[in-house]
Chains A and B, each alone.
Chain A
Amino acid sequence: MVPLQATITILVALGALAVALTSDLVRLVIVSSAYTLLLVVLFVVLQAPDVALSMLVVGTIGYPLVLFVAIRRDRADD
């Protein structure tokens, strides 16, 4: 169990780094969506399937969608 936890925790840390290092806004949304997917796996590994289920949809689909529309609107306003 511990090697699995360590692996996914390191992956989450690398994912967070990738989010922080991405500068392009649209790419950032995609990267943060993928990062959320890593968090979902972490939740499953830590035996919190309920949280993982909500996070899966809200973090990887719902939130990116809202951000995309906001970015689109912001660019159309310019």
Chain B
Amino acid sequence: MTRRVRLALFGVAACGLAALLLWSITGLPKFGDYHGAYGKILNKRAPQERQTSNVVAAVVFDYRGFDTMGEELILFAAVMGVAMLLREPREEEAPVPEDPVRSDALRAFGVSLAGATLVLGLWIVAHGYVTPGGGFQGGVVLAAAFLLVWLAGSYRAYRGLARAPFVELAEGSGAGGYVVIGLCALLIGDAFLHNLLPYGVAGKLSSGGSIPLLNWASGLEVTAAFVLLFNEFLSERAVLIDPTRRPS
């Protein structure tokens, strides 16, 4: 097939695709035009039933709490898989290289940003069921704070902060804690993951029953999972920048 024929074929296909796309765009419902009955019912009932001002959190950690447990365990298994794959070829612990950041501007910017990111992450987890956010979103922001320490400081500083036994313990207790909270409901004779605590008043931190507990458990799990992931990838990089190990 010559270039000409290929281009002609592409032209016809692209025009067809563009026409189809335009046709479908003109048929789209208006922004905010929503027909999901389930969502509408939840929007109406969740604030009273669960005392959460963020209905998404009520769905994630209460109405669909069991699904969220599955998602958490998927993340847990995925990170374990990465750790097993990357750790296997390294028999001994790689020497920690010296790689301090030499730019003062980058260091100052990064250090001030790391603290702010940490506080933002904690805030997003803590207020997950009051304002937009939650354990998953706050967890990734918290993990980003760790990453900033590496970017603006050094690998040595990062390793000192994100010690493997501590991170592994945090990941395990985050994932396990969620299941344990679910089992506690079974122990007192309710359904798995049923609410344990008083619902309180919507808009306050002490609201939503078990939602805050499950929210913090997933926040811990997500933070630790991402930090563990960064650990594995960064130590991979540490082996690479070590001059004695660089393949010739």
- B-contact 0/1 string along A35-78, CB 8 Å cutoff: 00000000000100110011011100110011001001100110
Of the listed residues B136, B233, B240, the one surrounded by the most CB atoms of chain A closer than 10 A to its CB is: B233
| In the complex, number of A-B residue pairs with CB atoms less than 8 Å apart | 54
The reply on A5 being an interface residue by CB < 8 A is yes
What band does the interface of chain A fall in when counting residues whose beta carbon is under 8 Å from B?
20 to 34
A46 CB contacts on chain B under 8 angstroms: 31
The reply on B132 being an interface residue by CB < 8 A is yes
Would you call B236 and A61 a contact (CB within 8 A)? no
Q: How far is the CA of A53 from the CA of B56 in the complex (A)?
A: 14
A49 CB contacts on chain B under 8 angstroms: 132-133
A60 and chain B: residue at smallest CB distance: B144
- Point out the residue from B137, B234, B237 that lies within 8 Å of A53, measured CB to CB: B137
The main secondary structure of chain B at its interface with chain A is: helix
How many chain B residues touch A (CB < 8 A): the figure is: 24
30 contacts between A and B (CB under 8 A): A1-B31, A2-B31, A46-B31, A49-B132, A49-B133, A50-B133, A53-B124, A53-B132, A53-B133, A53-B141, A54-B136, A54-B137, A54-B140, A56-B141, A58-B140, A61-B144, A61-B147, A62-B226, A66-B229, A69-B233, A69-B234, A69-B236, A69-B237, A72-B237, A73-B237, A73-B240, A76-B240, A76-B246, A76-B247, A77-B247
Chain A residues within CB distance 8 Å of chain B: 1-2, 5, 46, 49-50, 53-54, 56-58, 61-62, 65-66, 69, 72-73, 76-77
